[in-house]
């Protein structure tokens, strides 16, 4: 199995997406990170170590405006990051893939599986943040923040994960409306596993139950944890994620 190294692909916009990949058994695993995260996070690197130890092909990458890829974070939106993901799926020479999506990455995972059904063999969603732009605008922003978003085109909100506030743009919210999934059947019929904590302060666990309800697949299950928060990066959480991935790979 070849050692992974930092590589890049060029998008039609001439921007570069940075990624790491190594070959191994199929289906390969591809990790999709969350909002304002990078491919060097704990879950991404833990999955790589497991895949390497088990001779499983693996890919992790940064969307535009994230990590080491080109672009400004505040210029991006769900449609852009979905395009990035589809570009990576098309680029990787792997017959089939299991997508592991964390937070926003799980929303993009679902969207990508709809658009590449012949390539995606299974899905593992971690604290899935499907439709989070709608949830943010409808339930999390106060009236002042909504007016600020509309009038100046963006709003800044403090983050518990970064010393700098997160920037949410009007473009992000409006673009997100084109990709909403939770109020309609999700036409995906592949093995799917979801993990969520009921004390998640950022994404309600009911989002994952709604995904489960709307999925066409009957080979789907949700594991609810009691005190794992949103990131699910404790050692016990990582152990559970790897166990679910192993069972999912056996199912596909």
Question: Distance (Å, rounded) from C-alpha 29 to C-alpha 125?
Answer: 13
Which residue in 69, 103, 197, 208 is the catalytic one? Answer: 103
Residue 230 bears catalytic tag: yes
Question: Distance (Å, rounded) from C-alpha 39 to C-alpha 17?
Answer: 11
Question: Distance (Å, rounded) from C-alpha 194 to C-alpha 224?
Answer: 8
Chain segment 8-31, per-residue pLDDT in tens: 999 999 999 999 999 999 999 999
Q: How confident is the model at residue 4 (pLDDT cuts 50, 70, 90)?
A: low
Chain segment 219-239, per-residue pLDDT in tens: 999 999 999 999 999 999 999
Chain segment 60-111, per-residue pLDDT in tens: 999 999 999 999 999 999 999 999 999 999 999 878 999 999 999 999 999 9
Residue 21 bears catalytic tag: no
Whether the pTM exceeds 0.85: the reply is yes
User: For the chain, how far is it from start to end, CA to CA, in angstroms?
Assistant: 22
Which residue in 62, 131, 175, 200 is the catalytic one? Answer: 200
Find out whether 251 and 191 touch, Cβ atoms under 8 Å: yes
CATH number of 6-130+181-251: 3.40.50.1820
Which residue in 84, 131, 230, 237 is the catalytic one? Answer: 230
- Phi/psi for 85 (5° steps) reads -65, -45
């Amino acid at each position: 199995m070849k050692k992974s190294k930092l590589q890049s692909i060029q998008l039609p916009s001439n921007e570069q997406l940075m990624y790491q990949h190594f070959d191994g058994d199929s289906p390969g695993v591809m990790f999709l990170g969350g909002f304002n995260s990078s491919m060097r996070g704990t879950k991404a690197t833990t999955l790589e170590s497991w895949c390497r130890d088990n001779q499983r092909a693996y890919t992790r990458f940064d969307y535009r405006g994230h990590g080491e890829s080109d672009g400004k974070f505040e210029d991006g939106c769900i449609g852009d990051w979905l395009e990035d993901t589809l570009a990576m799926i098309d680029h990787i020479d792997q017959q089939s893939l299991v997508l592991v999506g964390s937070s926003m990455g799980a929303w993009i995972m679902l969207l990508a599986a709809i658009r590449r059904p012949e390539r995606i063999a299974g899905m593992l969603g971690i604290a899935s943040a499907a439709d989070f732009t709608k949830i943010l605008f409808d339930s999390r922003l106060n009236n002042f923040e909504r007016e600020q978003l509309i009038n100046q085109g963006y709003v800044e909100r403090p983050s518990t994960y970064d010393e700098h506030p997160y920037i949410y743009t009007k473009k992000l919210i409006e673009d997100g409306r084109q990709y909403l999934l939770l109020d309609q059947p999700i036409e995906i019929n592949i093995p799917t596993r979801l993990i969520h904590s009921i004390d998640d302060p950022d994404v309600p666990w009911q989002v994952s139950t709604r995904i489960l309800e709307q999925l066409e697949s009957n080979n789907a299950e949700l594991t609810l944890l009691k005190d794992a928060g949103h990131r699910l990066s404790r050692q016990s959480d990582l152990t559970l994620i790897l166990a679910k991935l192993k069972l999912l790979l056996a199912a596909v």
